[in-house]
Amino acid sequence: MKRLVLWDVDGTLVRLGQASRHPFQVALTHVLGRELEEQFHERVEMSGKTDPQIARELLLLAEVAEHQVGEETAAVLEHLEAELAALADRMPEDGRVLPGVAELLGGLDADPLVVQSVLTGNLAANAAVKLGAFGLDRWLDLSIGAYGSDDADRTQLVPVARGRAAQRHGVAFPPDSVWVVGDTPADLACARAGGAHCLLVATGRFARSDLEGLGADAVLEDLSDTSMVIEILRS
């Protein structure tokens, strides 16, 4: 059976530092037309959330009226996309690819029984910018991924990627052929909702002790033991 491996981006493949959070603040300031307190964006926990969900929470925190939030979320996301694209050149300086990732993506790419893409809260364009900045997109078929731009609710995203992969490859990817790899409880919830397997890694905001005991199929400190990770994802 062919496997579909769906990677989360932030905290799983790469760490971006300020480039992951600051663009939200710039976009929000622009849309609201007023200055916000410095580091306003840090009042919203972003790990594991989709970009539309983060934008909405920030707007509500900035006391935008509920009936205006939908329209303003769209405006924030539009600016976010532009801000992030403008930072692409600096991403490799501010951020880093996490241990084992390049070797792992390359290794799995050589396996004809494995198809790799992403399942991320990022808008599709933002995921492409981040992965492209680090050269990781060469091993991932981003056209079959599932993104925050497909649904603000991450738990809806496994079927989106399965559907795209099936169309592209002409074979079905049943839920138990799918692995979601992520760094937060939200990645696990999304995998569970979609009937997929889940590997969690403690390279994001959550420690291994926070991730263990949640019911993931496997929990690792990081992805550096690439032969073990490959074995897990083929199991």
Backbone angles phi, psi at 42, to 5 degrees: -75, -10
Q: How far is the CB of 152 from Mg ion (least distance, A)?
A: 16
Query: Looking at 10, 51, 81, 150, which residue binds Mg ion (CB under 5 A)?
Result: 10
Q: What is the x/- site pattern for Mg ion, positions 11-30, by CB under 5 A? A: x-------------------
Asked if 51 is part of the footprint of Mg ion (rule: CB under 5 A), the reply reads: no
The amino acid present at 204, given as its one-letter code, is G
Site for Mg ion in 165-184 (CB under 5 A): 183
The span of 9-17, 62-70, 82-90, 167-175 binding Mg ion (CB under 5 A) equals 9-17
Report the residue number, 51 or 83, with the smaller CB distance to Mg ion: 51
Single-letter amino acid, residue 129: V
Q: Say how far apart CA 17 and CA 132 lie, in whole Å.
A: 16
Residue 166 Cβ, how far from Mg ion at the closest point, in Å?
A: 25
Query: In the bound complex, what is the minimum distance in angstroms from residue 146's beta carbon to Mg ion?
Result: 14
Site map (CB under 5 A) of Mg ion, residues 180-209, x = contact: ---x--------------------------
- The interface region with Mg ion, picked from 5-13, 78-86, 102-110, 218-226 by CB under 5 A, is 5-13
Query: Is the separation of the CB atoms in 187 and 49 below 8 Å?
Result: no
CA distance 60 to 65: 7
**What is the number of alpha carbons within 13 Å of residue 125 lying toward its C-beta?**
10
User: What minimum distance in Å lies between the beta carbon of 45 and Mg ion?
Assistant: 12
**Does 8 help bind Mg ion (rule: CB under 5 A)?**
yes
Contact 182, 168 (CB under 8 A): no
Residue nearest Mg ion, CB atom distance: 11
Q: Specify the pairing of strand 178-182 against strand 14-15.
A: unpaired
Q: How would you label 172-200 residue by residue, b for 16+ Cβ within 10 Å and e otherwise?
A: ebeeebbbbbbbbbbbbbbbbebebbbbb
Q: Tell me the closest approach of the beta carbon of residue 172 to Mg ion, in angstroms.
A: 27
The binding site for Mg ion (CB under 5 A) comprises 8, 10-11, 183
